[in-house]
Structure 1
Amino acid sequence: MGKNIVVLTGSPRKGGNSDRMADAFIRGAQEAGHTTVKIETAALDVKGCRACDGCYRGSRACFFNDDFNSIAQSVLEADAVVVATPLYWFSFPAQIKNVIDKFYAFVVGGKEFKNKECALLTCGGDSEEKAFDGLVRSYELIAEYLGWKDRGRLVLTGVNAKGDIEKTDGLVRAEKMGAEF
């Protein structure tokens, strides 16, 4: 039986390396019979969480009306959440981090948000994988806190300029990861 997979992308660079990783993952997942939704967080207007605890007062996930409310139901109903993001200063870009921070709404709002599957696809210009330690560890802690099952991580170093991913096996590996999900 196919899964409902939400792929959150973090890059503001359309067609960039991590965006292409997301597309490759999606291609593999769809070929395996899964349903996918790609949410490009950089195109959304999602403000940071204000910790007001007004989550799910009324009909919205977030008390403040921003684009998180338009994607919240898709994320909530997903069987799996895949994060595809570039590395920015040893962590997540602000655009995707704001969305992840607003997962707080599901916890405070009493929504069932446990027992999902997850995966991480990330790349960046640094040549050493240790540069990704902060991002990867944050991902691990989020998955652990939410009780999500980690289905894998793909970390690609040395891809900075748009198209650098073509010089690696990253797209093949991302597609295979989606197919095996």
Structure 2
Amino acid sequence: MLVLGINGSPRHKGNSHYLMDRFMKEMESKGHDTQVLNAVKMKINPCIGCGHCEKKGVCIFEDDFTHIFLPEVIKADIIVISSPVYFYGFPAAIKALIDRIQVLWSRKYRLKKDEFKGRKRKGFLLAVGATRGEDLFDGLKLTARYFFDAADIEYETALCYRGIDEKGGIKNHLAVNEEINNLVAGL
């Protein structure tokens, strides 16, 4: 089973990285293959809404999305997104990847292709935010839900942590390791 991690944080080895690392180590301990793609390191053109994918099922751009990201999303059995909150949404690099998943939405809904027939894929969101606002993660959860739907992935759940801004601050959260362990144990 391939577990694909999508790290959305531009901060090197920050809180989102820690969440991803913990999740992936637990998955590896269960014998799963893992891979993490760092959105900020990928060369991704933003979606321009040209409609090419709705007609042809492929994107007009030849970039890291087309050659690296999309093939791994298609192969993955489990996808986990780990990200900080930027203005109640995803940071720009990961949002560009999410927007470009329109190509799978187009294949599924416009062109009626069923390339994931018989596969039961799962998706998870790990998120961290500096403020304590009640609706802090609503934008990420909704965007993740539609990303997973377009890629024919069942959105399972999210683990979200408020009030953590300092780099490495997530390591001091009392429940994070237990919650990740419990999440992975249920898979």
TM-score bin, normalised by smaller chain: 0.7 to 0.9
Pick aligned residue for 2:35 from 15, 34, 37 = 37
Give 4+ residue runs of structure 1 displaced > 3 Å after superposition: 53-58, 141-147
Pick aligned residue for 1:138 from 132, 143, 150 = 143
Tell me how far apart the structure 1 counterparts of residues 169 and 139 of structure 2 sit (CA, whole Å). 23
Contact 1:5 1:79 (C-alpha < 8 Å) held by counterparts: yes
**Could you say which residue in structure 1 is the equivalent of 2:110?**
none
Pick aligned residue for 1:65 from 54, 62, 66 = 62
1:142 Cα deviation after fit: 3.5
**Could you say which residue in structure 2 is the equivalent of 1:26?**
24
Once the two structures are aligned, what percentage of the paired residues are identical?
A: 28
Tell me how far apart the structure 2 counterparts of residues 21 and 106 of structure 1 sit (CA, whole Å). 27
Contact 1:20 1:171 (C-alpha < 8 Å) held by counterparts: no
Tell me how far apart the structure 2 counterparts of residues 9 and 76 of structure 1 sit (CA, whole Å). 17
Q: Which runs of 5+ in 1 are unaligned?
A: none
Q: Which runs of 5+ in 2 are unaligned?
A: 108-112
**Could you say which residue in structure 2 is the equivalent of 1:124?**
129
Residue 175 of structure 2 is aligned to residue 157 of structure 1 = no
Q: Higher relative contact order by CA 8 Å / sep ≥ 6: 1 or 2?
A: 1
Q: Name the aligned partner's letter for residue 173 of structure 1.
A: E
Tell me how far apart the structure 1 counterparts of residues 162 and 140 of structure 2 sit (CA, whole Å). 13
Compared CA separation, residues 113 and 87, structure 1 to 2 (3 A): farther
Aligned-pair RMSD on alpha carbons?
A: 2.5
Pick aligned residue for 1:83 from 71, 81, 86 = 81
TM-score (norm 1): 0.86
